[in-house]
Structure 1
Amino acid sequence: MAGLAVAAVAALTGCDPGGLSTAGAAFTTDQTVTAELERRKADVRWLDCTGSYGGGSSPTASEDTVVRVDCGGRTGDGEDIRVTARVTRAVSGACVRGLVIAEIGGRERLRVNGLGDCDATPSPAAPPGAGRPPAPTVTVTVTRTVYCEQRPNCWPEGK
């Protein structure tokens, strides 16, 4: 199930030539910040990131895309982790560009203008068919009426 969740996020997180998605920026920030904090000997128990466009709506093609990413989490010894980022580029799970600041227990532990290798192949790879709209599905509903022959007074009206 976790593999499907990662694959689903991967479909949203590639470096989209038409712009930067909020889901992609949040996922990649989570991945790269976690890896960097652990490289710096911080025991990251969990980190949860969300992304939004600065103005609240999607940017137009003529605007520079900036995604604001906010993360909260916890270390293995119970300290709070807070990450804020202004992401200008992301390659799924491999790199994030823009100002990234991470604090653990209220102390700044990371301030960088980018993390990871933006020349890397996006990872994890999107599943076949990613980017295409889902195919329609068929739903069949079967209604069955059951009569109560032994108890004609059962609700409603003997049925």
Structure 2
Amino acid sequence: VRNGIVPILCVGETITEKVNHDTGQVIHDQVTTALSNLTAEDVEHMVIAYEPVWALSNGSNFRDVETPTPDIIEKVVKDIRHNVAELYGQRSANNLRVLYGGSTHSGTAGGFLNISGIDGLLVGGASMDFHEFSKMVEIAAGVAASRS
């Protein structure tokens, strides 16, 4: 951050942590540990991506991976912003950009982008397919236009 680079902090739970209902605690611990030596200004200039480990593809199977429901994603995003607010205040939490980074593709991009609190997507395997990624960019542009 201090050198003009925008860091993306990826946080997320494993399948075991999900099954054990530990998602909230895991996210809290990851966020508070990773941000512990930063200033409020630093945090406002970075990005946090919710990237549940259990929802990641191997790069080519991005259409076949289970993803969290919109309600779960929205809750985790709220938890991330709440954790940031506890550490650095509500302004930092509001200015922080939060992405969803589980497996996404053109069929799910619009739905994920319309989840409250999501500022964008961290695209993995789908970004390796030019046509697929181009469709996602078009969808994102449409969502952005509808927000303004």
TM-score normalized with structure 2 length: 0.26
Higher helix share: 2
TM-score normalized with structure 1 length: 0.24
Higher strand share: 1
